[in-house]
Amino acid sequence: MERLKRSTDFIDVTREIVPGMTVYPGDTVPGFDRKDFGQYQITDLLLSTHSGTHIDAPAHYIQSGATIEKVPLEALIGECVVIDVSDVNGEICPEDVGDRAAGAARVLLRTGYRDDGPFDPHYTSPGPTSARLFTRLGVRCLGTDAPSIEKFGGSGEVHRELLGRGVAIIEFLDLDDVPEGVYLMIALPLRLGGLDGSPARVILCR
């Protein structure tokens, strides 16, 4: 795998959280309640642990799994490879990935999902065989620009394969303007004690 060169180019791949934004069906639609106290303002937030760009902790699907504050930062910070699979429709198979994930501890899948209208359940996502490929390769963090790492209405098999082996999952990234290649990734969830996930700010550097 190509080695990352030192640079100061930062790319924010976090989707903006705004009231009424499109969410995965059944999830909480974000809302803001701004309070004006004259000299200052405070805003109450109505959010889910899976609002916008977010990180799934093992506890999301594994009953005894680690919660979000226990996800190792070394899984979320370091070199990553962005793999463009935008030419795939439906399930991402191992042959779609090829050897592009070899040696990568962190992988982000650029599926071409666009958040420009109502929720689209026909997004592209890895199937169980691809999930097993990533765990076999030793990937510690797997991200996607789609609403979920698993197909809409899936059985949870992909989540359980990844989270059960300690792979952190990042969902709903904004990779529209990010070409395939190697980056430095910094993905920081809120330190929410005992919870199954958290919204996160995710930055790539080249």
- Give the CA distances from residue 39 to residues 33, 43, 44, 45, 156, in Å, rounded to whole numbers and listed in that order: 17, 14, 17, 20, 48
3-class DSSP state of 133:
helix
CA distance linking residue 8 with residue 6, whole number of Å: 7
Report yes or no: 15 and 115 within 8 Å, Cβ to Cβ: yes
**At a CB cut-off of 8 Å and minimum separation 6, what does 66 contact?**
57, 58, 59, 166
Catalytic residue among 54, 60, 122, 159: 60
Nearest Cα to Cα of residue 144 among 194, 187, 192? 187
Active site includes 60? Answer: yes
Would you report the helix, strand and coil content of the chain in percent, each value rounded to 5?
A: 15, 30, 55
The residues that are catalytic are: 60
